[in-house]
């Protein structure tokens, strides 16, 4: 199989035992959607299982083939969050195409997947840390600053539906309370790192095809101005005045991720302050803040505080508004310091890239960023043509 | 496919640059504030990245450097 490792890692958190099962087409798993595969694995291992997965094209040269998914289930049905940045790709490089977390750990700790190994690391002291502190701890403990870490914060630990899983310090992917599902399993973070290599059917052809496609896209799209290129309401002076740089996810030529500096001069290229600012790609949260009259600098600090707490910012801001007080960082911090079971706002971020859920699922399920592909124009058949040189066959 | 050029990611803000392993054995670190040469980069950089010292030195892909070709912004260029 091309672009696949052929392995699914299964970690029984109750016993701490890890096992593997083969991933191949003869298992009857249609690889055109990581979402469908994750659902099939949840059916096999239990609906409360949490499945981290990659799309068949994740890590290919197809533009913006960066996406993985996290599937969490429970009494309310299954929920899917995208895994963006470099996290989806890194997950594939661990040697597992999918990772299933089943059962509940007897104590708190984090899941550590790397180079074909999967384990639960007990870390009861981690609970006292924010999501940022947890990322730092995992990287420091495992001795590699490049480990991709999806962390819960105190809100996830408390199993609150308004929690969000934070990926490498930043929030925006989890609008479905995945962190609460991990919290219920005593999992404080999930970390992955790998040096795997993926085989391609025709590497040179796939490379050339993908470059052609990328150039076609860029001819139409032009140069990105970051998140404001996707959401014109964010093109405000106070926002653009703080922009330090744009950050692409793996393979993305038209980045939406926009880093704003609030603690030092935005035009200074070097980063001197310990926490100079915040990386924005949560358009829903920023829009909510701006709609409430919050300026860009304060919005940065609020989103940063929400990320550290592992709380979904649109919900937090809506809750603050309901208190009838002036909304500022102080009020938000007070709310965040006391995790409470407030009702999720139902905010969507990447999920709103396409007007319909089916196209979103099809795009994300392949491992492609829905935000980029909605902009560039997603067409399953056309993508399938470009995937041929990678997979040695069209997409099914 | 493997590469002789990797991301250099410096800190929690994803501040990044590129590290190139040259044929002479030296490493070239390119960051927004400038280029430094002849020293080992502090990080191995990027997802799944093998340490740069384990990689093949750059041979410019036989004359048609793929990294320059794939760079969407033209930040990576081959200069004679």
pLDDT per residue over A81-138, tens digit each? 999 999 999 999 999 999 999 999 999 999 999 999 999 999 999 999 999 999 999 9
What average pLDDT does range A254-277 have in this prediction? 90
Using CA atoms in the order A329, A334, A339, A342, what is the torsion angle rounded to 10 degrees? -70
Going by pLDDT thresholds of 50, 70 and 90, the confidence category of residue B4 is confident
Q: Do B72 and A254 touch (CB under 8 A)?
A: yes
Question: Burial letters for A67-91: b for 16+ Cβ neighbours within 10 Å, e otherwise?
Answer: bbbbbbbeeeebbbbbbbbbbbbbb
Assigned token pair, A199: 């085989």
pLDDT score, position A335: 97
Q: What is the ipTM of this complex?
A: 0.72
Q: Which of A203, A221, A225 is nearest to A213 (CA)?
A: A221
| SS3 call for A72 | strand
Predicted confidence (pLDDT) at residue A268 exceeds the cutoff of 90? no
Q: Do A90 and B48 touch (CB under 8 A)?
A: yes
Q: For residue B12, give how far its alpha carbon lies from the nearest alpha carbon of chain A (Å).
A: 8
pTM: 0.92
Angle, to 10 degrees, between the axis of helix A283-291 and the axis of helix A313-322? 20
What average pLDDT does range A27-52 have in this prediction? 88
What average pLDDT does range A33-57 have in this prediction? 95
CB B57 within 8 A of CB B36: no
Contacts of A198 in chain B (CB under 8 A): none
pLDDT score, position B51: 65
Percent of chain A scored above 90 by pLDDT?
89
What does the DSSP 8-state code read for residue A396?
-
| pLDDT tens digits, B62-78 | 888 888 998 888 888 88
Q: Do B13 and A197 touch (CB under 8 A)?
A: no
Contacts of A207 in chain B (CB under 8 A): 1, 66, 70
Across chain A, mean pLDDT equals 94
pLDDT score, position A137: 97
């Amino acid at each position: 199989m091309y672009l696949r490792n052929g392995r699914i890692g299964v970690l029984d958190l109750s016993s701490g035992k890890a096992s593997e099962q083969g991933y191949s087409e003869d298992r009857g798993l249609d690889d055109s959607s990581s979402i469908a595969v994750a659902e099939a694995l949840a059916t096999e291992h239990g609906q409360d299982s949490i499945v981290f997965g990659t799309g068949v094209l994740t890590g290919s040269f197809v533009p913006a083939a960066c996406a993985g998914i996290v599937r969490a289930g429970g009494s309310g049905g299954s929920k899917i969050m995208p895994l963006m940045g470099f996290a989806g790709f890194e997950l594939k490089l661990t040697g597992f195409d999918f990772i299933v977390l089943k059962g509940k750990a007897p104590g708190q700790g984090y899941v550590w997947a790397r180079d074909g190994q999967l384990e639960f690391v007990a870390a009861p002291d981690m609970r006292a840390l924010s999501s940022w502190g947890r990322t730092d701890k995992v990287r420091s403990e495992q001795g590699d600053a490049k480990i991709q870490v999806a962390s819960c914060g105190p809100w996830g630990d408390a199993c609150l539906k308004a929690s969000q899983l934070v990926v490498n310090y930043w929030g925006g992917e989890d609008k479905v309370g995945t962190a609460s599902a991990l919290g219920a399993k005593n999992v404080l973070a999930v970390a992955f790192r790998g040096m795997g290599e993926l085989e391609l059917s025709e590497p040179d052809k796939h490379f050339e095809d993908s470059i052609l496609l990328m150039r076609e896209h860029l001819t139409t799209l032009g140069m990105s101005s970051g998140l404001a290129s996707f959401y014109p309401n964010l093109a405000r002076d106070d926002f653009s005045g703080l922009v330090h740089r744009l950050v692409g996810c793996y393979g993305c030529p038209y980045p939406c991720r926009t880093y704003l500096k609030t603690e030092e001069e935005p035009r200074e290229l070097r980063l001197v302050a310990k926490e100079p600012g915040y990386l924005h790609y949560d358009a829903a949260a920023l829009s909510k803040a701006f709609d409430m009259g919050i300026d860009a600098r304060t919005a940065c600090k609020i989103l940063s505080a929400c990320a550290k707490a592992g709380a979904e910012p649109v919900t937090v801001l809506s809750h603050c508004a309901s208190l009838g007080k002036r909304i500022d960082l102080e009020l938000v911090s007070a709310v965040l310091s006391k995790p409470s079971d407030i009702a999720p706002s139902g905010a969507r971020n990447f999920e709103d890239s396409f007007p319909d859920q089916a196209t979103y699922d099809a795009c994300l399920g392949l491992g492609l960023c829905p935000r980029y592909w909605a902009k560039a124009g997603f067409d399953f058949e056309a993508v399938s043509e470009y995937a041929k040189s990678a997979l040695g066959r069209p997409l099914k | 496919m493997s590469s002789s050029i990797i991301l250099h990611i410096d800190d929690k803000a994803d501040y990044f640059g590129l590290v190139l392993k040259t044929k002479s054995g030296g490493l070239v670190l390119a960051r927004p504030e400038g280029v430094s040469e002849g020293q080992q980069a502090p990080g191995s950089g990027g997802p799944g990245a093998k340490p740069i010292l384990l990689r093949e030195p750059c041979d410019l892909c036989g004359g048609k450097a793929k990294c320059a070709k794939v760079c969407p912004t033209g930040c990576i260029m081959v200069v004679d």
